[in-house]
Amino acid sequence: MMFTFRGFIRLLILFPAIYAYRQHLELTIKGSEEIIEQAVESLQKSLDKDLLSLDITKERKEGHFVELQVHGKTWTKGIDNQMMMPAQKEHIGGVIVETIRGAGIDHARAFQDPALHAQKWRELAHELVQHRLENPGVLKKFVAGDEHRFALFYNDEGGMANHHAAVIVSLARREMEGAEVIIIDCTHDVFKCGEYVDVAHFPTLRYYRDKKLQKAWTTELDMMTVEDISDLVIRSIDDTVHRVNEDLVPYWREGMLEGYGHPLDTVHLFFGHDENEEAYRRYQETAEALKGHYTFGALIDEKVSQWATHPAIITMKPQDTETKAVAHHKEWTVEALTRYIRFSSRPLLHDLSKPREAVEAIDSDCVLLFLFDPKMAVAARPLYELAQDIEYRETVPLVVGTVNGTSPFGLAFSTWAGLKQFDRAQWVLVNHNEEIDVAYVLPVDPEKPLDLKKFVKKPEEMAKARESTLHLDFLKNVALGENFEDCRGMASRKWHEPGTLPRPPLHNEAHDEL
């Protein structure tokens, strides 16, 4: 049944509140052509096409109440709900707006509940892991060969991290060449699995070659994707350091390496004149210790001094929009090189509007500095310059990033970080090394550039402290939720129809009061 014009006029009461909350809500009315035309004309000055969307698609009258069928988009997921509103209530606008806001926020949080996600990942793991081996003893025969072999040990009762690992490895194994992969289900005999893997750490991915354990990965699996697993396998079985000639440098600069089906985010290339020089030996040691996680190359040429500083490591970042490369040419100890490789491999400037990068930023246990900009109009050059100040950031535990003010997750992340206003550009500093996370917020003044290093060093002298509620586990669930949606369509068997999995109820205080 379509909306009546009388009912539509009642809904017009919504728009003063919606306009005040325009950064958070977009309302769409679906009805007859006449109603839509009147809606466009009446709401032209009020409706601001922005973030969360709400579609009211159906109306059904029942006694003195009207049922509204609502579909909306919250910060992280879509919501479906039915609202029973009094048909004759004069001021339903504020009630509906507050209902949507409250229910949307609560739903976004409830939907990321670990128990619910664990069930989803478990069901997906059961569908995808078709070659699960319940007898870990077969591993003896599996590792007896000389080929490159990988084994994932996981516990089906161990929660979402285990199921996530089983899914991504199962999907990645279909694209792997030159390596064999099995998945060991330790659920029924964790003690027997203990002969091969530390039973306190599930899931664990282990790499065997020549009948020996070469590498093992545990907690790193939490945030890996199918692509990450494929890259890890390629790096593990490939040469530790690729020999590069002058003709190949342009390809490395763009992250285009043979064997990878996509451009790499980061590659490290050593420039030197002699493979016997001390710097190159230290580089090789570092590459061997970090093998699997990063891609290393070396250009050794006696004439390198004619066109490049040497010895030097140039880190190419082709996917970075601002920083295409950084360099290291000073201290050549393994410790210094390891620190540099790990640091330079991260995004120098995190996009905290993306759940995975937000998780990485918080998981680093560093001070977090980011620029929130609702219009993306503020010149962020000082932030880019700070991000590229390698010497400063190697001594100061700092993660630098930006938040897109028109991104739903960006708004959610900023709220949890301690931000309270969303209509202006602001600097936000979060110190989550303390027992209670503390945030400091300063408005951006284009006329008076902020000394960011001073703000990082003594934020309490420049802004009042406020509590931050950033939760790493919650953000991991958000990111895993995105991965889950990506993997769902790749399942080998039919997925559950919408609505067959349990979903948390929408909390509706306004409805309760009615």
**How many Å apart are CA 74 and CA 346, to the nearest integer?**
29
Stretch (H or E) spanning 475: helix 472-488
Q: Tell me which amino acid residue 292 is.
A: G
pLDDT at 14 over 60: no
Q: Say what the pLDDT of residue 321 is.
A: 65
More confident residue, 315 or 220: 315
Mean pLDDT of 79-105: 38
Closest CA to 246 of 295, 283, 300: 300
**How many Å apart are CA 490 and CA 479, to the nearest integer?**
18
pLDDT at 119 over 60: yes
State the Cα torsion 425-426-427-431 to the nearest 10°. -140
pLDDT digits (tens, 9 = 90+) for 350-376: 888 877 788 888 877 788 899 988 665
Cα torsion 419, 45, 376, 485: sign: positive
Q: How far is CA 42 from CA 9, 47, 267, in A?
A: 10, 9, 55
| Residue 70 DSSP one-character state | E
Q: Say what the pLDDT of residue 127 is.
A: 79
pTM above 0.85, yes or no: no
Domains in the chain, start-ordered, CATH in brackets?
5-111 (no CATH), 127-234 (3.40.30.10), 240-344 (3.40.30.10), 350-474 (3.40.30.10)
Q: Say what the pLDDT of residue 313 is.
A: 92
Cβ atoms of 235 and 210 closer than 8 Å: no
The counts of H helices and E strands in the chain are 19, 20
Q: Exposed, middle or buried: residue 312 (CB in 10 Å: 0-12, 13-18, 19+)?
A: middle
Q: Say what the pLDDT of residue 190 is.
A: 79
Stretch (H or E) spanning 351: strand 350-351
Q: Tell me which amino acid residue 310 is.
A: H
Distance, first Cα to last Cα, the chain: 24
**How many Å apart are CA 263 and CA 255, to the nearest integer?**
5
pLDDT digits (tens, 9 = 90+) for 267-286: 999 999 888 899 999 999 99
**How many Å apart are CA 336 and CA 106, to the nearest integer?**
46
* Lowest-confidence pick of 76-80, 334-338, 452-456: 76-80
Q: Say what the pLDDT of residue 435 is.
A: 60
Residue 269's contacts (CB-CB under 8 Å, 6 or more residues apart) are 244, 249, 252, 296, 297, 298, 299, 313, 314, 315, 316
Number of Cβ within 10 Å of residue 439's Cβ equals 25
* Lowest-confidence pick of 249-253, 359-363, 464-468, 478-482: 478-482
CA 118, chain centre distance (Å): 18
Which contacts qualify for 127-130: CB closer than 8 Å, 24 or more apart?
127/491, 127/492, 127/493, 127/495, 128/166, 128/167, 128/170, 128/171, 128/487, 128/490, 128/491, 128/492, 129/166, 129/167, 129/170, 129/183, 129/185, 130/170, 130/492
pLDDT digits (tens, 9 = 90+) for 139-186: 778 887 778 889 999 888 877 788 888 888 988 887 777 788 888 888
More confident residue, 91 or 172: 172
CA angle 407, 411, 415 (to 5 degrees): 170
Phi-psi region of 217 (alpha: psi -120 to 50; beta: other; left: phi over 0): beta
> What's the alpha-carbon Rg for the chain, to the nearest Å?
27
pLDDT digits (tens, 9 = 90+) for 28-75: 444 444 444 444 444 333 333 332 344 444 344 444 444 445 454 433
Mean pLDDT of 487-505: 32
Cis? peptide before 347, omega within 30° of 0: no
pLDDT digits (tens, 9 = 90+) for 202-251: 899 999 988 888 888 887 787 788 888 888 998 988 899 999 988 898 89
pLDDT at 307 over 80: no
Name the E strands within 191-294. 204-209, 212-217, 242-243, 267-272
Grouping H, G, I as helix, E, B as strand and the rest as coil, residue 191 is helix
Q: Of all residues in the chain, what percent carry a pLDDT higher than 70?
A: 65
Q: How far is CA 437 from CA 306, 459, 462, in A?
A: 51, 14, 18
Grouping H, G, I as helix, E, B as strand and the rest as coil, residue 257 is coil
Cβ atoms of 237 and 170 closer than 8 Å: no
**How many Å apart are CA 238 and CA 292, to the nearest integer?**
9
Phi-psi region of 178 (alpha: psi -120 to 50; beta: other; left: phi over 0): left
